[in-house]
Amino acid sequence: MNAILTFLKNFADSDKQPIRSAKVARQKFIEKSPEISRVTENYKDATVIPRTEHNVSRQQISDNALKVVYKLKKEGFDAYLVGGCVRDLLLGREPKDFDVVTNALPEELARLFTNCRIIGKRFRLAHVIYGREIIEVATFRKSGSEKPSEAQRSTKEGRILQDNLYGTIDDDVWRRDFTVNALYYNIRDFSIVDYVGGIADHKAGLIRLIGDSNERFREDPVRMLRAVRFAVKLGFKLHTDCEQAIHLNAHLLASIPAARLHDEVTKLFLTGYGIQTFEMLRHYGLFEVLFPAVEKDLSLETSNFPKMMVINALQNSDKRIAEGKPVAPYFLFAAFLYEPMMKRTNEKLAKGMLKSDASFSAASEILTQQVRRVSLPRHLTLTIREVWNQQAKFEFRVGAKASKLLMHPRFQAAYDFLLLRAQTGSASEELAEWWTAYQKANESERRKMTQPQAQPKSTKPKKKRVYRKKTKTAVVSNEDSA
Ligand code: ATP
Ligand code: MG
């Protein structure tokens, strides 16, 4: 029993054990790479803001992030908090996550922390995992090298594909994106190290790229989305160089793998600032690269109805996030793409396709196109289809169909989507109100509501039923997980 308890205690405390082999590995590495100094606190041309002159306190830092930096310090490494957490703490905001940067190598981190996973190819990073909290720990990197090596690769346009050349803090700072994201909080003396005028830009509320804006966006076009995200989230302005460079380089986003854009788009629209983000992305020509079919539709429309659908969906989800309620990404995508899908359906109907075939094939086409640009996991595209499919079924209110629809596992999402359509004029308010009442009604009221005579008279002229000969419909490519 005692042996088991000792084992469990050692297991729980395992990250407190000194890792001798890590030190040996590091020593060997340093011998081979003399440019990495063991302690890098002789900053070249940096301003050091002492603890007494800034408002970042250890109390605001997550216990797990502190555990990581203290352990690194204890093992003789440098360790800094960097990036969004320092930026947000300076504003008195709670950071989304804590990023650590150190001179320990990924392999050393893996040995130091048993709760650690090395991830990434483009950038090798360590994730130190504490239950639901992940502390991302990166090794100082160098940007650009006269001798391109295996560790660094880029496309002929200059987009960085791989960047695993390690360096010092003096190197690391120049590969960061914006000045306000390049502030280092030093755990040894609680000072902030600023190489790039980040504190001044932070005070002025400016998002400014480090280095040449066009070049930095060419290296990684996703930085344009990050610029918009931070400007909206922090209430900062884009520096004019940054603005101009976005106008020039927006099209480069199309070269980014769809899976990476999925993550960015989720952060852009599902963190509570959807409306402003949407407006700003459109202003800079970035939205049209992410959602070409939606943009085409928005810019063609003379009345403001489709734009309202997107805006109302974003408003609803921003409101839910502000109230601490969960938001479903599929719902937003369903709203973004609904109008383009309906347009495509109508074009197919006009060509004589049957209604069910037209809707199915329009949904396939729109989703297939979209996932090529911004990937959506298959379970999301399936749910989007379901929500769209249910919309036509809301029209059937006689007999058992209504109660059957009510039992559908996606009823709630489909009903919420019907409300959104009613708010923006794409479904009648009477229909939405009927479904609201139907859900609240008891069994006998529901029976009465679904009697044929209880139905409100349709204002549309009755169409003569036409029987068609069944024809083979085109099979639509359903690849790319749509
Ligand atoms: P938040 O976590 O609040 O979204 P963040 O600035 O911390 O914002 P992360 O994606 O967590 O963003 O990245 C941490 C830091 O790594 C950034 O602050 C920045 O210094 C650097 N970084 C991240 N992505 C890039 C990039 N594409 N190009 C250059 N530097 C980057
Ligand atoms: Mg972060």
What tens digit of pLDDT does each residue of 19-33 get? 334 344 445 544 554
Interatomic CA distance for residues 209 and 217, integer angstroms = 9
Q: Within this chain, do residues 19 and 77 fall inside the same structural domain, yes or no?
A: yes
At residue 39, what are phi and psi to the nearest 5 degrees? -120, 130
Residue range 297-330, pLDDT digits in tens:
888 765 555 578 999 999 999 999 999 999 999 9
Spacing, Cα 214 to ligand 2 middle (Å): 24
CB 297 within 8 A of CB 339: yes
The active-site residue out of 177, 194, 220, 318 is 177
Check pocket membership of 163 for ligand 1, CB cut-off 6 A. Answer: no
Does one domain contain both 373 and 225? no
Assigned domain for 479 exists: no
In this prediction, residue 40 carries a pLDDT of 47
Q: Is 357 a catalytic residue?
A: no
The domain of 234 spans: 217-281
Residue 96 CB less than 6 A away from ligand 1: yes
Q: Is 410 within 8 Å of 390 (Cβ atoms)?
A: yes
CATH assignment at residue 437: 1.10.3090.10
Q: Any idea which residue has 């810019």 for tokens?
A: 299
Per-residue model confidence as pLDDT tens digits over 437-446: 999 999 889 9
Q: Is 279 in the pocket of ligand 1 (CB under 6 A)?
A: no
Of all protein residues, whose CA lies closest to atom 16 belonging to ligand 1? 83
**Residue 98 above 80 pLDDT?**
yes
Verify that 91 and 168 share a domain, yes or no: yes
pLDDT in tens, 136-164: 999 998 865 444 455 556 666 666 555 66
CB-based contact 112:15 (threshold 8 Å): yes
- What average pLDDT does the segment 129-135 reach? 96
What pLDDT band is residue 35 in, cutting at 50, 70 and 90?
A: very low
Same domain, 183 and 240: no
Mean per-residue pLDDT for 394-398? 90
d(CA 341, CA 335) in angstroms, rounded, equals 10
pLDDT in tens, 160-188: 555 667 889 999 999 999 999 999 999 99
Residues forming beta bridges with residue 353, ordered by sequence position = none
Q: Are residues 196 and 232 in the same domain?
A: no
> What sections of 78-210 are H helices per DSSP?
84-90, 106-112, 169-172, 198-204
Q: What pLDDT does 13 receive?
A: 37
Say if residues 236 and 348 touch (Cβ distance below 8 Å).
no
> What residues have CB less than 8 Å from 150, skipping those under 6 apart?
none
* pLDDT score recorded for residue 154: 62
Give me ligand 1 centre to Cα 413, in Å: 34
| Ligand 2 geometric centre to CA of 100 (Å) | 9
- Tell me how far the alpha carbon of residue 125 lies from the centroid of ligand 2, in angstroms: 13
Q: Hey, whose CA ends up nearest to atom 1 of ligand 1?
A: 84
pLDDT band at 44 (very low <50, low <70, confident <90, very high): confident
Q: Is the CB of 223 under 6 A from ligand 1?
A: yes
38 and 131 share a domain? yes
In this structure, which residue's CA is closest to atom 8 in ligand 1? 84
pLDDT for the residue 472: 44
Residue 74 lies in a domain: yes
Q: How confident is the model at residue 248 (pLDDT cuts 50, 70, 90)?
A: very high
Residue 404 domain-assigned? yes
181 Cα nearest atom in ligand 1: 18
Give, for ligand 1, the residue of 88, 176, 213, 268 to mutate: max count of ligand atoms closer than 8 Å to Cβ.
Answer: 176
Q: Let me know if 97 is a catalytic residue.
A: yes
Residues 181 and 271 in one domain: no
Site to substitute for ligand 1 among 99, 125, 256, most atoms within 8 A of C-beta: 99
Total domains, the chain: 3
Pair (196, 324) in one structural domain: no
Whether pLDDT at 94 is above 80: yes
The single residue of 78, 88, 99, 163 carrying the catalytic annotation is 99
Pocket of ligand 1, candidates 163, 179, 181, 263: which has the most ligand atoms within 8 Å of its Cβ, to mutate? 181
Q: Which pLDDT value is given to residue 479?
A: 36
Query: 251-265: buried (b, 16+ CB within 10 Å) or exposed (e) per residue?
Result: ebbeebeeeebbebb
**Does residue 46 lie in a domain region?**
yes
Residues 6+ apart with CB under 8 A from 208: 178, 179, 180, 201, 239, 241, 242
Specify the pLDDT at position 452.
80
Q: Within a domain: residue 102?
A: yes
Assign 384 a pLDDT band (cuts: 50, 70, 90). very high
Atom 26 in ligand 1: residue holding the nearest Cα: 177
* pLDDT given at position 15: 36
CA of 178 to the centre of ligand 1 (A): 9
Pairing state between β 99-102 and 116-119:
unpaired
Residue 464 lies in a domain: no
For ligand 1, is residue 177 a contact (CB within 6 Å)? Answer: yes
Q: pLDDT tens-digit profile of 445-477? A: 999 898 886 566 554 444 445 555 544 444 333
Active site residue 99: yes
Ligand nearest to the CA of 181: 1
User: What's residue 142's pLDDT?
Assistant: 81
Q: Indicate which atom in ligand 1 lies nearest the CA of residue 88.
A: 3
- What's the mean per-residue pLDDT of the chain? 85
Please tell me whether residues 43 and 115 are part of one structural domain: yes
Distance 84 CA to ligand 2 centre (A): 5
Would you say residue 157 lies in a domain? yes
CA triplet 239, 282, 339: central angle to 5 degrees? 165
**DSSP-assigned letter for residue 209:** B
Q: What is the pLDDT of residue 204?
A: 96
Q: Counting every residue, how long is the chain?
A: 482
- The tens digit of pLDDT for each residue in 401-432 reads 888 998 999 999 999 999 999 998 889 999 99
Express as a percent the part of the chain with pLDDT over 90.
69
Which domain CATH number covers 138?
3.30.460.10
Ligand nearest to the CA of residue 87, numbered in listed order: 1
Ligand 1 geometric centre to CA of 377 (Å): 24
Does the residue 377 lie in any domain? yes
Q: Are residues 261 and 404 in the same domain?
A: no
Best mutation site among 134, 159, 177 for ligand 1, i.e. most ligand atoms within 8 A of its Cβ? 177
pLDDT at 11 over 50: no
- The atom number, within ligand 1, closest to the CA of 176 reads 30
Q: What pLDDT was estimated at residue 185? A: 97
What is the pTM for the complete model shown?
A: 0.82
Nearest CA to ligand 1 atom 28: 177
